[in-house]
Amino acid sequence: MGEGLQLALHLMYELHHRGFADVDDAREWDPDLLRLRQSLEGRFLYALSGELPDGPKLVEAVFAPLLVEPVDLSGSLSHYLETEGEL
């Protein structure tokens, strides 16, 4: 994955965040740029998955353990808010 791909993605994302002086704000939604960005994102994700062959393939697989309330509630945020929290 080259630096050019990463730079191109950065510039396209920047169109959505702050934009650039002397660049029409409408370019943020230019269909050709959005298609190009989608293609570059696909290449980027493909390259990442190749570098992490044993890594989880789905976001859900990464977040699933974080969504389970532990049996021991002593370190739980929801338990703390229930017992110690204030409006």
pLDDT in tens, 22-41: 999 999 899 999 999 999 99
List the domain range (segments joined by +) for residue 41.
3-84
More confident residue, 18 or 79: 18
Predicted model pTM? 0.58
How many separate domains does the chain show?
1
Contacts of 40 (CB under 8 A, 6+ apart): 5, 8, 9, 12
Residue 51 has pLDDT above 90, yes or no: no
Residue 13 has pLDDT above 90, yes or no: yes
Residue 55 phi/psi, 5-degree rounding, is: -75, 165
Side chain identity at residue 49, one-letter code: S
